[in-house]
Amino acid sequence: MTVLAFGAAPAAAQGSDDPLRVVVTVDGEDITGRTVTFDPARPVEVSLTVRNPGAAKQEVRLVRITGVALALTFFSYDTTVPFEVPSRGQVTRTFPLDVRDLDGQAIGLLPTTVALLSEDRVELASSDTVVDVRGSFWSVYGVFGVALLVLTALAWTGALLALAQHRLSANRFRRALRFLPAGVGTGLVAVVTLSVLRLVPPEPEVEIPIVLGAALIGLLLGFLTPHPAPAGSPDPTGDGPTVALTREWTR
Distance of alpha carbon 94 from alpha carbon 87, whole angstroms = 21
Region 36-48: what's the mean pLDDT?
94
User: Partners of 189 in the beta sheet?
Assistant: none
**pLDDT of amino acid 186:** 97
Residue 211: pLDDT band with limits 50, 70, 90: very high
* Strand-pair category, 108-117 with 123-133: antiparallel
Domain range list for the chain: 20-133, 140-250
pLDDT of residue 219 exceeding 70: yes
**pLDDT of amino acid 39:** 94
How would DSSP label each residue in 179-223? HHHHHHHHHHHHHHHHHHTTSS---HHHHHHHHHHHHHHHHHHHH
8 Å CB contact between 69 and 110:
yes
Which parts of the chain are beta strand (E)? 21-26, 29-30, 35-38, 44-51, 58-69, 72-85, 90-97, 108-117, 123-133
Q: pLDDT tens digit string along 200-210? A: 999 999 999 99
Region 178-185: what's the mean pLDDT?
96
**pLDDT of amino acid 17:** 62
Which top CATH class is 20-133? mainly beta
**pLDDT of amino acid 245:** 41
**pLDDT of amino acid 19:** 87
Q: What pTM value is reported for the model?
A: 0.79
Q: Is the dihedral of CA 190, 191, 192, 197 positive or negative?
A: positive
8 Å CB contact between 133 and 102:
yes
What strands lie across the sheet with 35-38, from one edge to the other?
35-38, 123-133, 108-117, 58-69, 72-85
Instruction: Determine what percent of the chain is predicted with pLDDT higher than 70.
Output: 84
Distance of alpha carbon 70 from alpha carbon 148, whole angstroms = 12
* Mean pLDDT score of the chain: 86
Instruction: Determine what percent of the chain is predicted with pLDDT higher than 90.
Output: 76
Distance of alpha carbon 85 from alpha carbon 89, whole angstroms = 6
8 Å CB contact between 92 and 47:
yes
Residue 230: pLDDT band with limits 50, 70, 90: low
Q: pLDDT tens digit string along 49-80? A: 999 998 899 999 999 999 999 999 999 999 99
**pLDDT of amino acid 159:** 94
Distance of alpha carbon 114 from alpha carbon 16, whole angstroms = 23
**pLDDT of amino acid 235:** 46
Region 187-210: what's the mean pLDDT?
96
